[in-house]
């Protein structure tokens, strides 16, 4: 005999990726992200002009048939430079945020779960890091080492780490006191298992949101560093570098700033929307709702 009491029965189980794809907005953002990724990888190969083809006679030309996105102050093709820049910017953003995510989340979860001295030490370190403005801290790191791609990634990664530490600590602190963690303890489950099986999955929600936000901000941080001459070194193009280079020509050549700016916006938006979709699908409660809606 089985007992059926009032329950929210799940409809048909649907594979997570299928559910993800059924959200039109998520799907569209994923397609945009895929295009950006292809451009990032293959950009220099398919670009109509060389990245550093200087032709002063063609400087500051508005968008037209030859140069779709116009040319810059040195007569370089904006589209071709952007196609190359997307790769650099994306590389910086993804690697630095991945670093911040892994280091920050591990430190935060351990601190939140362990509590006591470990928690105090980790949190005071993040306090110190928070005390400095983001750019100042990044500047300090970059000026100690030689400016360049690796230093830029390291600087942004380190600066973003405490944010992830804070967020995952707060969630871990809540999860630690829940009865299901207590039950696991009474069942004799080792701490490592509790952290991996119960704490980690339950802190993913806020972390995903923060990751998609951070990816967008990392692109902007890279732009700021490049502008100060401490990020990606010219003539290697980056979206931020192009944007800041364009600011002297805002009135004469709007295309120099609008297109790279739009690229940053589009990338950031796509990251955020895919992140939202991912968070919903990873949360079983949201998933049941989505499944019910789909099978209706």
Partner 1 sequence: MTSLVLRVDELRVSVGSHPIVRGVGFEVEQGGTLGIVGESGSGKSMTVLAATGLIDVPGRRVSGSSLLRQHDGSDLQLVGASPAELRAVHGTEVGFVFQDPGTSLNPLLTIGRQISESLEVHRRATRRQGRSRAIELLEAVGLPNPAERVDAYPHQLSGGQRQRVMIAVALACGPGLLIADEPTTALDVTTQAQIIELVRALQHDHGTAVVWISHDLGVIGQVADDVLVLREGLGVERGSILDIYDRPREQYTRELLAARPRIRDGAAPAAPASAEELLGVDGLDVRFAISTPTGRRTVHAVDDVSLRLRRGTTLALVGESGSGKSTIAHALTGLVKPRSGTARLSGRDVLRAPRRDRRRIAMVFQDSFASLDPRRPIGDAIEEPLRVHGIAGGSAAGRRARLEELLDQVELPRSFRERYPHELSGGQRQRVSIARALAVEPEVVILDEATSSLDVSIQARVLELLKRLQAQLGLSYLFIAHDLAIVQDMSHDVVVLREGRVVEAADAVTLFAAPREVYTRALLAAVPPERPRVGA
Whether the Cβ atoms of residue 72 and residue 256 lie closer than 8 Å to each other: yes
Smallest distance from partner 1 to CB 182, Å: 6
Q: Which is nearer to partner 1, 193 or 247 (CB)?
A: 193
Residues between 267 and 296 with contacts to partner 1, criterion CB under 8 A:
282-285, 288
174 binds partner 1 (CB under 8 A): no
The correct pick among 15, 117, 144, 179 for binding partner 1 (CB under 8 A) is 179
Q: Which is nearer to partner 1, 136 or 289 (CB)?
A: 289
Q: Which of 186, 178, 195, 209 is nearest to 271 (CA)?
A: 209
| Residues facing 54 on adjacent strands | none
8 binds partner 1 (CB under 8 A): yes
Residues between 183 and 202 with contacts to partner 1, criterion CB under 8 A:
183-190, 193, 197-198, 201-202
Smallest distance from partner 1 to CB 102, Å: 20
| Residues facing 77 on adjacent strands | 71
Residue with tokens 């990873």: 282
Q: Give the Cα separation of 260 and 182 in Å (integer).
A: 51
Helix ranges (DSSP H) in the chain: 16-22, 24-46, 78-114, 116-131, 134-144, 149-176, 179-186, 191-194, 200-227, 239-246, 255-282, 284-295
How far is C-alpha 45 from the geometric centre of its chain's CA atoms?
25
Q: Which is nearer to partner 1, 59 or 202 (CB)?
A: 202
Q: How many residues bind partner 1 (CB under 8 A)?
A: 32
15 binds partner 1 (CB under 8 A): no
Residues that bind partner 1 in the complex, under the rule CB under 8 A: 1-3, 5-10, 13, 178-180, 182-190, 193, 197-198, 201-202, 282-285, 288
């Amino acid at each position: 005999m089985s007992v059926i009491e009032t329950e929210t029965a799940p409809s048909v189980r649907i594979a997570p990726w299928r559910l993800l794809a059924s959200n039109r907005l998520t799907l569209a953002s994923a397609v945009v992200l895929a295009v950006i990724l292809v451009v990032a990888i293959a950009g220099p190969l398919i670009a109509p002009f060389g990245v550093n083809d200087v032709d002063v006679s063609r400087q500051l030309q508005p968008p037209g048939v030859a140069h779709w996105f116009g040319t810059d102050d040195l007569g370089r093709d904006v589209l071709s430079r952007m196609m190359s820049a997307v790769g650099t910017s994306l590389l910086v953003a993804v690697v630095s945020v991945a670093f911040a995510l892994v280091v920050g989340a591990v430190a935060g979860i351990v601190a939140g779960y362990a509590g006591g001295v470990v928690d105090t030490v980790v949190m005071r370190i993040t306090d110190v890091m928070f005390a400095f403005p983001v750019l100042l801290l990044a500047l300090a790191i970059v000026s100690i080492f030689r400016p360049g791609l690796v230093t830029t990634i390291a600087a942004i990664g380190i600066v973003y780490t405490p944010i992830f530490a804070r967020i995952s600590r707060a969630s871990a602190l809540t999860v630690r006191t829940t009865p299901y963690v207590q039950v696991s303890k009474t069942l004799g489950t080792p701490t490592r298992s509790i952290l991996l099986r119960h704490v980690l999955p339950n802190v993913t929600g806020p972390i995903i949101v923060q990751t998609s936000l951070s990816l967008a901000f990392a692109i902007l941080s890279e732009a700021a560093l490049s502008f100060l001459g401490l990020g990606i070194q010219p003539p290697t193009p980056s979206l931020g570098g192009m944007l800041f280079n364009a600011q002297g020509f805002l009135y004469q050549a709007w295309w120099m700033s609008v297109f790279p700016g739009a690229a940053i916006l589009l990338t950031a938006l796509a990251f955020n929307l895919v992140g939202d979709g991912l968070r919903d699908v990873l949360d079983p409660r949201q998933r049941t709702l989505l499944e019910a809606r789909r099978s209706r």
